[in-house]
Amino acid sequence: MKKKDFVTQDLLSKIYQQHDPAQRKLPPERQLAEEYGVSRFTIRQALEKLVSIGVVNVVQGSGIYISERARTNPLVYNSITEKRFDQIGFKLISLHKKLPDKDERQVFGLAADAWIWRFCRVRYVDNARTQIEVSKLPVADFPDLNQHIIESSLQKYVLSRGFRISHLLTSYQAIAVNKEQAALLACKKGIPAMQINSRGILEGGRVFEISEVVDIHYNCTYVIPFNHDSLTFRQSTG
């Protein structure tokens, strides 16, 4: 693990260990650098990540403040959501309309003759090909979907249409990159990757998007409360 990642995760751990509401600040950069035996540049990189995921705020000349919600909410961040939008780009590979299959009709709640969009795009992170995304959306809700929208912010487009996004339902599976995916990502066939399947859910419960993402540089960190009820159930014999 890189030094900056170790410092980031250790600071996260210490923030979540603190239960004293009066403990609102982290030590200054210089002190943190001495405690971890690293440069102030490394500390600054770790703090930038904590700022990007909303855990701390750095106030110039005042200090490093812990966010109020950092200790009360579960936290999930990954190698994509911690990136600023100016560090991410997209290239459209394909876009077309199709009739939904049985599963797609079930997910979207559509009739057999209702059209859906299917598009494929490559996501670049820091100018490197990182992800292939295949997504599907109902044409009736998003009739003007186009290349410009797909190569910018899809979620911003959904909100601009007057919809309110409520939840994302996401699952993960380790895979090996196939020949077609390797060509799009400029990598070797067979290297390990993460397949991320997601459903975007609107307020009211309707699904507006299903997507499948293949990521060759994926990492994810979770900070969640321990589930005692789940452990008790799993230990039961039925």
pLDDT for the residue 72: 66
Is 13 within the bounds of a domain?
yes
| CB contact burial 34-61 (16+ within 10 A = b; e otherwise) | eebebeeebbebbbebbeebebbeeeee
Retrieve residue 137's tokens.
């959306």
| CB contact burial 80-118 (16+ within 10 A = b; e otherwise) | bebeeeeebbbeeeeeeeeebeeebeeebebeeeeebbb
Residues 6+ apart with CB under 8 A from 140: 114, 115
Same domain, 14 and 117: no
Same domain, 138 and 27: no
Same domain, 45 and 147: no
Retrieve residue 145's tokens.
């979907």
pLDDT for the residue 237: 72
Domain boundary among 73, 96, 111: 73
Retrieve residue 136's tokens.
């599907």
Separation of alpha carbons 4 and 48, rounded Å: 10
pLDDT for the residue 19: 64
Name the residue range of residue 183's domain.
85-221
Same domain, 165 and 115: yes
Is 229 within the bounds of a domain?
no
Same domain, 119 and 189: yes
Same domain, 111 and 168: yes
Is 118 within the bounds of a domain?
yes
CATH number assigned to the domain comprising residue 30: 1.10.10.10
Retrieve residue 107's tokens.
């997910």
pLDDT for the residue 213: 96
> pLDDT means per 10 residues in the chain (238 residues)?
88 79 83 94 92 86 83 72 81 98 95 97 93 98 97 94 94 96 96 95 95 92 78 76
